[in-house]
Structure 1
Amino acid sequence: MILGRSDLADFACFLAIARHRSFRLAALELGVSPSALSHALKAMEQRLGIRLVNRTNRSVTLTAAGEELQNAITQPVAEIGQAMDNLNRYRDAPAGRIRLNVLVDAAQVLLAPVLPEFARRYPNIEIDIAATNRMVDVIGSGFDAGIRHGGTVPEDMIGQRISADLRWVVAASPSYIERFGIPERPHDLEHHHCLGVRLGDDRIYRWEFLGPQGEFAISVPSKIFVDEGRAMIALALAGTGLMYGTDAIFAPHLKSGDLRLVLEDWATTGPGYEIYYPSRRQVPTGLRLLIELIREMRPLGV
């Protein structure tokens, strides 16, 4: 049997649905609407004369035939996709699409300075970025790679460092300092208003410092909790409370004088950002070129 282009497209649609067990997530990975994906699967099943997927309002599961097809074509289709991507080496202008799951702060201070140049050099490569601090399975959610702090990359992934270590500091607006004063030691924070940091797994972050006896972490008094850096900076600029974060995030506001650092003698450093992807796959051309450009431009050092 000779396969045509439509067969390969059908297989790609089916495998995305099989991986995610969700038409919405599969459609997001493929860059189409859930309705279009549903119609494509229905047409495929009609041509084959076999039901591959059981669909209800609450779940998507594979039939026995669907599971057999998934097992049979997963590796061959992956190899075809890699072969197509390898052909990018022979193009005048590399093309393709990469999807990234990125920490919100990293999107702002790491990718934003690089992407204008990337778009200029590689106009045929599309980058789809989901900026979120929520913990997700990047591969199960259809991403090619993720960016998060070093030391938090899953063990079954390949991680590459793309920034220098990050310095963690506390900042406040001049209006806050005028009203409440400057904390001299981390434990003085007990008498201040602090913006609580909610992590991507819903835990509340304990602020970390470096003292004469080494690193330590403390729980700070908070009545306002935020899970995203830009919203937290807006609150800090308004004088709502002290904010904990990296000096890279604060840099433009420190330069303008809208924020000031406090407790600088107690600042600590932590691992920089890493980009990570599955060890079982070759790196897509677009992703490789992005990593190379980040290392070339060094927005946060490396």
Structure 2
Amino acid sequence: MADATRNDEIIRTVGALPPGELAAFLAVAEHGGFRAASRTLGQTPSALSHAVAGLERRLKVKLFHRSTRNVSLTEPGRRLADRLMPAIGEIGLAVEELHERAASPTGLVRINCDANAAEQVLMPLLTRFMKLQPAMRFEIRSEGKLVDIAEGGFDCGVRAAELVSGEMIAIPIGPDQQHIVVASPGYLFGAPAIKTPSDLSLHQCVQLRMASGSIYRWEFQRRGEHVVVTTSGNLVVDQSRLLLAAALDGCGLAYITQWMAAHALADGRLCQVLADWTPPYPGLCLYYPRHRHIGTGMRAFLDFLRSPPSDSNS
């Protein structure tokens, strides 16, 4: 309590002194003259002389010896300067640290995202950004259904570009996507040939039930022809990873992303069919409401997504 009272007294005493007079005193003390100090503060030597004289009157002590050729500190002036200089340095460091903290993005960003999109594209970008901005925090809610991100309390969402409303601002992230039809070699051995999408009616097709309750329909395109096929099969799942597992186990054909099937295709555990009917399409976008206020943390993340720095470890 005694220290607090003492500090209050000091603050009141210093607060009663015009800051310009203290600044003038310290500048003259540091540079050894009014002319040199005037260049630092951007004031005339005469103005600095008046400011120092005002401080001396308030403190009732002489701070400088003055002559036509020389200006030097008096003993009380030297003691005052010795005390104030470290304090001014600490104030400068405190202000500098405050500016650095203010310049560093902080805060929480909540993202609504499809689980596969989060795994494939969002998480690699997010981890790189968080290494650059460790004060940032993120929360990802992965779910299959589309939600109103504004009503749900999310800052942004990640979905396929075709699903993003024109009322949103969208930033493309990641490569083009591609849904393909795959099956295990064991399932395809001796099965009817698959040359066109209509041949799928002769096969077991693993179904994907969407969060809306509907069964996902398989889309195909070739040379301007667009075909949507309602498939059938004995197995229905609600996650894309289960589609992959079912195909690997020989349960039938699966319609999944090329990214998800890549390793199994490379090592021969899966084979692709109807390759000429499944071209790539525009990939994922991070999107957010056009008219919502954007905080500094979210703004920094958006800037990163628009031009992510190269990864020196890749």
TM-score (norm 1): 0.62
| Residue 141 (1) aligns with residue 152 (2) | yes
Alpha-carbon distance between aligned partners in 2 of 1:164 and 1:109, rounded to the nearest angstrom: 10
Alpha-carbon distance between aligned partners in 2 of 1:154 and 1:90, rounded to the nearest angstrom: 36
Letter in 1 for 2:236: F
Q: Please state how far the C-alpha of 1:217 moved relative to its aligned partner.
A: 0.9
Q: Which runs of 5 or more residues in structure 2 are unaligned?
A: 1-97
Alpha-carbon distance between aligned partners in 2 of 1:298 and 1:197, rounded to the nearest angstrom: 37
Alpha-carbon distance between aligned partners in 1 of 2:302 and 2:99, rounded to the nearest angstrom: 16
Alpha-carbon distance between aligned partners in 1 of 2:266 and 2:219, rounded to the nearest angstrom: 24
Residues 129-166 of structure 1, C-alpha deviations (whole Å, 9 max, x = no match): 11111122211111111111112223432222223432
Match of 2:122 among 103, 111, 119: 111
Aligned match of 2:211? 200
Q: Which runs of 5 or more residues in structure 1 are unaligned?
A: 1-86
Match of 1:221 among 232, 236, 256: 232
Match of 1:239 among 231, 245, 250: 250
Alpha-carbon distance between aligned partners in 2 of 1:294 and 1:230, rounded to the nearest angstrom: 27
Provide the secondary structure at the position in 1 that maps to 2:293: coil
Alpha-carbon distance between aligned partners in 1 of 2:155 and 2:222, rounded to the nearest angstrom: 40
Q: CA contact under 8 A between 1:95 and 1:124: conserved in structure 2?
A: yes
Match of 2:186 among 151, 175, 182: 175
Match of 2:276 among 251, 259, 265: 265
Q: Please state how far the C-alpha of 1:237 moved relative to its aligned partner.
A: 1.8
Cα 1:268–1:92 shift into 2, 3 Å: same
Alpha-carbon distance between aligned partners in 1 of 2:284 and 2:99, rounded to the nearest angstrom: 27
Larger-gyration structure (1/2): 2
Q: Please state how far the C-alpha of 1:101 moved relative to its aligned partner.
A: 0.6
Q: CA contact under 8 A between 1:208 and 1:268: conserved in structure 2?
A: no
Provide the secondary structure at the position in 2 that maps to 1:98: strand
RMSD: 2.7
Aligned match of 1:281? 292
Q: Please state how far the C-alpha of 1:99 moved relative to its aligned partner.
A: 0.7
Alpha-carbon distance between aligned partners in 2 of 1:280 and 1:98, rounded to the nearest angstrom: 17
Q: Please state how far the C-alpha of 1:294 moved relative to its aligned partner.
A: 4.2
Q: Which moved more, 1:110-119 or 1:174-183?
A: 174-183
Q: Which moved more, 1:158-167 or 1:138-147?
A: 158-167
Q: Which moved more, 1:142-151 or 1:92-101?
A: 92-101
Q: Please state how far the C-alpha of 1:209 moved relative to its aligned partner.
A: 0.9
Alpha-carbon distance between aligned partners in 2 of 1:207 and 1:194, rounded to the nearest angstrom: 10
Cα 1:111–1:193 shift into 2, 3 Å: same
Alpha-carbon distance between aligned partners in 1 of 2:252 and 2:147, rounded to the nearest angstrom: 30
Q: Please state how far the C-alpha of 1:90 moved relative to its aligned partner.
A: 5.6
Cα 1:286–1:198 shift into 2, 3 Å: farther
- The structure showing larger relative contact order (alpha-carbon pairs under 8 Å, at least 6 residues apart) is 1
Match of 2:301 among 280, 286, 290: 290
Q: CA contact under 8 A between 2:111 and 2:154: conserved in structure 1?
A: yes
Provide the secondary structure at the position in 1 that maps to 2:159: strand
Letter in 2 for 1:128: E
Alpha-carbon distance between aligned partners in 1 of 2:234 and 2:263, rounded to the nearest angstrom: 26
Identity %: 33
